[in-house]
Amino acid sequence: MDEVFKALADPSRRALLDSLNARNGQTLRELCAGLDMARQSVSKHLAVLEEAGLVATVRQGREKLHYLNAAPVHEIAHRWINQFDRARVQALADLKLALEDTAMDTVTETATEAPTFVYTTYIRTTPEKLWRALTEPAFTRRYWETEFTTDWAAGSPMTWDNHGVVIADPEQVVLESDPYSTLSYTWHSVTPELAKRFDWDEETLARLSAEPRSKVTFTIEEEAPQTVKLTVVHDGFGAGSKFAEMVSHGWPSVIASLKTLLETGEPLGTDVA
């Protein structure tokens, strides 16, 4: 956590994070254009932010896109803010945002771009154990209350048991499966039973049902013995996606619970669609 506090101490780096908070997925050129900083300075500051885990990057062709990564701040909050204080802190944050008329969201978009969720964290485990935690019901139901029925081969169908709601659809498929390295699949369909489980009203159900099917990709990289870097990219949303807003709040909790399960043997509680 020392790296996180060091990175946040510099006003230029905070300005970069503010820029990404306003519009995620920017290239180095776009970040330089939006800030009064030389390209070399921006590059150096981004390197510090990446090292601290506050910025995650994704390659898109020849471009390197930068995303604000909430994982380190989420872990700090989990470590020092108990459940009673969390509600009070959130209430103050909501009041501040309302007064400033600003928005705080992991997922951002422009008029021409659909939102993308990117989240990176480091877990004290091995690629093999993390792969099992992402695919085997004995793990997934503990930290996510979700199970998958599939053989995990690319192109294979997937049946979801999502918080007790079974969802079968031929368009729910495995997209990529490279054990201990990359896993990608399409997101589940929306059903009336799922809406009842999460207490969605008819308007929310209709809006979610009309959205294009999104996808999630997990990238596993071994950083050191017993330390793995996990990057989660959830994309394929339409502009103004309600689902994107929902997963941006849900994924941090799921990943934190996964991390806790692998490192301590006990998951955190989650309730994510």
Report how far Cα 146 is from the mean position of its chain's Cα atoms: 17
Q: What is the mean pLDDT of residues 43-67?
A: 86
Nearest to 66 by CA among 23, 4, 109, 101: 23
| Tokens standing for residue 145 | 């209350």
What CATH number was assigned to the domain covering residues 2-69? 1.10.10.10
Give the whole-angstrom CA distance, residue 52 versus residue 49.
Answer: 5
pLDDT level of residue 24 (50, 70, 90 thresholds) = confident
Average pLDDT over residues 171-176: 98
SS (H, E, C) the chain: CHHHHHHHCCHHHHHHHHHHHHCCCECHHHHHHHCCCCHHHHHHHHHHHHHCCCEEEEEECCEEEEEECCHHHHHHHHHHCCHHHHHHHHHHHHHHHHHHCCCCCCCCCCCCCCCCEEEEEEECCCHHHHHHHHHCHHHHHHHCCEEEECCCCCCCEEEEEECCEEEEEEEEEEEEEECCCEEEEECCCCCHHHHHHCCCCHHHHHHHHCCCCCEEEEEEEEEECCEEEEEEEEECCCCCCHHHHHHHHHHHHHHHHHHHHHHHCCCCCCCCC
Report the b/e string of 59-91 with b at 16+ CB within 10 A. Answer: eeeeeebbbbbbbbbbbebbeeeeeeeeeeeee
Per-residue pLDDT at 260 exceeds 60:
yes
Q: What is the pLDDT of residues 97-142, one digit of tens each?
A: 444 443 334 454 544 456 788 888 899 999 999 999 999 999 999 9
Tokens 């969390």 sit at which residue? 86
Residue with structure tokens 């996964």? 258
Domain 112-264 fold is Alpha-D-Glucose-1,6-Bisphosphate; Chain A, domain 4 (3.30.530)
Rounded CA-CA distance 169/189 in Å is 7
Tokens of 85: 């204080």
pLDDT at 90: 53
- Which residues have a Cβ under 8 Å from the Cβ of 55 and sit 6 or more positions away? 16, 17, 20, 46, 49, 66, 67, 68, 69
Domain with CATH 1.10.10.10 in the chain: 2-69
pLDDT in tens, 141-150: 999 999 999 9
Q: Where in the chain is the domain with CATH 3.30.530.20?
A: 112-264
Q: Phi and psi (nearest 5°) for 165?
A: -105, 120
Contact 254, 120 (CB under 8 A): no
**Stretch 62-78: mean pLDDT:** 76
CB 231 within 8 A of CB 56: yes
Q: What is the pLDDT of residue 85?
A: 55
- Higher-confidence residue of 96 and 227: namely 227
